[in-house]
Chain A
Amino acid sequence: MMTNHSLRKQCNLLPGSLITGKWNKNPYRIQQELGYGANGIVYLAESNNGQVALKLSDDYSSISSEMNILKSFSKVQGHSLGPSFFEADDWLKNGRPIPFYVMEYIKGEGYSAFIEQKGDSWVGVLMLQLLSSLDELHKQGWAFGDLKPDNLIVTIPAYKIRCIDVGGTTLFGRSIKEFTEFFDRGYWGMGSRKADPQYDLFAVAMIIINSFYPKRFSKKGDGYKQLNEMIKQKKGLHPYSKVLDRAVKGQYQSADEMRHDLLGILNRQPEHKKVEAQSTFQGKKNNNSTSQTRSMRKKRKKKKRGLLETLILAIFVSILYVLYVYNQFL
């Protein structure tokens, strides 16, 4: 892989080192290294306004692209997916500029480590949160692109999922530039690498699968068949199988739609009761207790609406009646 060996050699910043920007002159005191990836090293640093994450890179192109994406998100109201952007500058090291940018420090635990500690029951809930954030992002016309556990942080103590590394974020209709094979729709032969909502939803399905296969696996032959087989082989994945199947096949129109189905699975109990209450009302027995299909739920909604209409009509008629009686009385 292309990792940043040269940058590593150049700047192994020790805690306590001071970095001051050449342009804006803001000082940052390095506290510790948070991690490093293909495009640079991220440090935790103390600024005049508290703790921040600072990313150093010697690749001007990738750091500028990332910065652009972070900036455009910071303009979006109520964004909650990526870290907010603070500023970009250059650090002069022995007269040579090394570009860096400063962003919000997202404090928490990596997704995989979190699940390992807290257990599988968190998978569904965290994915609900992720799908809400994705829906927001998609409404702005962007796909996240490189969605994977390594890019997800569960903040503590709020237990809210956030994304770091927005480098793969891509406008709908354009090509995904950064991806990781296991989470990539194209790799599994399930579609193109053009950014659309379904590209991200495929990755969400793979994150769920990865949660039960921490070691991942590589493709052998027919991707769809293999994924199906792998889902069958893990009991923990069975409740999700319908949602996973639809997401893998790209059948969800939006993150919200997938979220809705996932919620249906996680809410198994209350859903069940509702159905029974309704079926007694209709004088029918409903045996389908575990997994409801969307069409059924839709029907139920329609029935509910019908009930509401009857009620409104009844009230309307009684008001008319009261008015009539009142008039008669006068």
Chain B
Amino acid sequence: MNMKTGTLKQILLITDGCSNQGEDPAAMAALAREQGISVNVIGVMENDTIDEKGLQEIESIALSGGGISQIVYSKQLSHTVQMVTRKAMTQTIQGLVNKELQQILGNSTSMEDLPPDKRGEVMEVVDELGETSKLEVLVLVDTSASMKHKLPTVKDALLDLSLSMNARMGDNKFSVFVFPGKRKDVEKLLDWTPKLEVLTKIFPKLTTGGITPTGPAINEALGYFHKKRSLRGLLSHDDESFFEETV
């Protein structure tokens, strides 16, 4: 199969609760989605539980960001981070494929309407793209005070993520941001790179802050994608050409 692969863009937000400063993070996630960037959220619990308000926020960020949310105990973080990233990729590709199907087969058609055999064929294309697409993940880590003792686990989970993703045939780029930053809402820890191993050195030196400016952090992260992609245009524009040669 000869396929043109585009770049899948994701923000991965790792947090343990509620934002308390700046714009509504769900609105910022919606803004991301408009630009073809999906926002996934992982809520990390220790033995404590996340309060109802935090839970709702996590769900609504992912929902309006077109991504996936998952609440986990920190012990399961590694396995969850790679699974959420993968599921989100599949979901995005699935969405693009569905759009393509509708153009060919008429508006009301989606994967569910196809007979199982045809569905299997579509899924082969989705799997193929999941394996070969370029992937950019911008990781946003909440480093407010309550996250402090979870940071070593977060680091391990991110190393595990790069292990999983780098086993794919497609290229990967990761970048890592933390919020709140020293002077700004968000601070860059690691520039776009295929390898996350460097984190082992950087992470232990992190200081934690008091506030949780989740919304502003997402907003700034977006700007970072823009700069990288300004030449090629937004993914939402790519969409049309994305599958030109596919079906």
Using a CB–CB distance below 8 Å, which chain A residues touch chain B?
1-2, 23, 60-61, 64-65, 67-68, 71, 88-90, 97, 99, 101, 173-177, 181, 186-187, 192-194, 218
Contacts and interface: CB of A to CB of B under 8 A. Distances in A.
Given A173-B169, A175-B131, A175-B168, A68 B124 contact: yes
A175 B116 contact: no
B162 to A, nearest CB: 10
Contacts of B165: 175
**Top-5 shortest CB links A-B:** A88-B116, A64-B123, A175-B167, A193-B167, A194-B167
Nearest to B169: A174
Contacts, number: 67
B120 A68 contact: yes
A2 B79 CA distance: 11
A18 B27 CA distance: 46
Given A175-B131, A176-B167, A177-B86, A61 B116 contact: no
Interface of B: 70, 75-76, 78-79, 83, 86, 90, 94, 111-112, 115-117, 119-120, 122-124, 126-127, 131, 160, 163-169
Given A174-B168, A176-B167, A192-B166, A64 B76 contact: no
B116 A23 contact: yes
Contacts of A187: 78, 160
16 contacts: A1-B76, A23-B116, A60-B123, A61-B90, A64-B119, A64-B120, A64-B122, A68-B124, A71-B120, A89-B116, A97-B112, A101-B116, A175-B165, A176-B164, A186-B160, A186-B164
Contacts of B123: 60-61, 64-65, 68
Nearest to A97: B112
Nearest to A23: B115
Contacts of B116: 23, 64, 67, 88-90, 99, 101
A65 B164 CA distance: 19
B187 to A, nearest CB: 29
A89 B115 CA distance: 8
A272 B115 CA distance: 60
B163 A192 contact: yes
A174 B131 contact: yes
Given A64-B122, A174-B168, 16 more contacts: A1-B76, A2-B83, A60-B112, A60-B123, A61-B123, A68-B120, A68-B127, A88-B120, A89-B116, A101-B116, A173-B169, A174-B167, A175-B165, A176-B164, A186-B167, A193-B167
Contacts of A89: 116
A88 B117 contact: yes
A69 to B, nearest CB: 10
B50 to A, nearest CB: 17
Contacts of B90: 61
A99 B83 CA distance: 22
Contacts of B86: 177
Given A2-B83, A71-B120, A61 B166 contact: no
A99 B86 CA distance: 22
A97 B131 CA distance: 29
A23 B113 CA distance: 11
A140 B112 CA distance: 31
A182 to B, nearest CB: 11
B163 A61 contact: no
Contacts of B169: 173-175
Nearest to B132: A174
Contacts of A173: 169
B126 A61 contact: yes
Contacts of B79: 181
A192 B167 CA distance: 7
Given A2-B70, A88-B120, A175-B131, A193 B94 contact: no
B211 to A, nearest CB: 31
Contacts of B160: 186-187
Nearest to A100: B116
- For B70, B86, B123, B124, the residue with the greatest tally of chain A CB atoms inside 10 Å of its CB is B123
B156 to A, nearest CB: 9
Nearest to A89: B116
Nearest to A171: B131
Nearest to A178: B83
B229 to A, nearest CB: 24
Nearest to A67: B120
Contact of A61 (B75, B94, B115): B94
Contacts of A23: 115-116
B221 to A, nearest CB: 25
Contacts of B78: 181, 187
A229 B126 CA distance: 43
Given A101-B116, A186-B164, A65 B127 contact: yes
